[in-house]
Amino acid sequence: MLGIEDGGMLADFAKAEAESPSPRKQVDQSRIIYKSRRFRRPGKAKGYGLPSLCDFGESRIGATQDSNPFVQPHMYRAPEVMFDMPWGSAADIWNLAGLIWDLFEGEHLFEDVFDARGGHDPFKHFALMVALIGDPPSEFIGRSETTGQCFDTNGTWIAQEDAAIPLVSLDSLEKRLSGQEKQLFIQFMRSMLKWMPEERKTAKQLLDDPWLL
């Protein structure tokens, strides 16, 4: 979010809305949607202000945290969070991989993880993870009893009745690159998308990744 140095922008915005209200549609008894209205540009010698970090409602401080199902949006949720394991900053690295894929490829990497009614389907989600990064190691399986709903003790998928492992891969889903550039990008993604949180690259290590240099 950006700060506002030119306070008149807010007054002009309110005036424009009062004089010409934005189109709106009542979706149901509890919700109305509105067409977006742009702010005017800042006046001379003024800018939009400095970037502000915000939305800390679900942020956490510390090396590790107890499980919490609401720390990440469904399609960005790290496997340790989904399996009710303690999690730490490495969960953000999983998030980062999903965000980079979104921005670069123009679509969500873990998009097909919802049921017919739009609810999150964890079995489809884990099946897609297996397709993209392989079976989880037995050490990961041993960190939570809930992993037994999807995997045996060796990390083999056993939830075929709930979701089949899709025939996709990072290579097949990546459409924009070719040759060595594609190989480096896939390698970059794999360095963040790992079952074991401690095996994911840190943010500092990612800055030195060959794909970014």
Query: How far is CA 18 from its chain centroid?
Result: 37
Query: What angle in degrees, to the nearest 10, is found between the helix axes of 90-105 and 179-190?
Result: 150
First to last CA, the chain: 28
Question: Could you give the 3-state DSSP secondary structure of residue 1?
Answer: coil
Among 6, 28, 55, 121, the one annotated catalytic: 6
Cα dist from 143 to 27, 80, 117, whole Å: 44, 9, 31
Q: What's the rounded Cα separation, in Å, for the pair 186 and 180?
A: 10
Token pair recorded at residue 201: 């690259």
Reported as half-sphere exposure (CB side, CA atoms, 13 A), residue 69 has a value of 3
CA angle (213 as vertex; 130, 188 as ends), nearest 5: 5
Q: Which residues contact 23 (CB under 8 A, 6 or more apart)?
A: 34, 35
Specify whether 6 is catalytic.
yes
Active site residues: 6
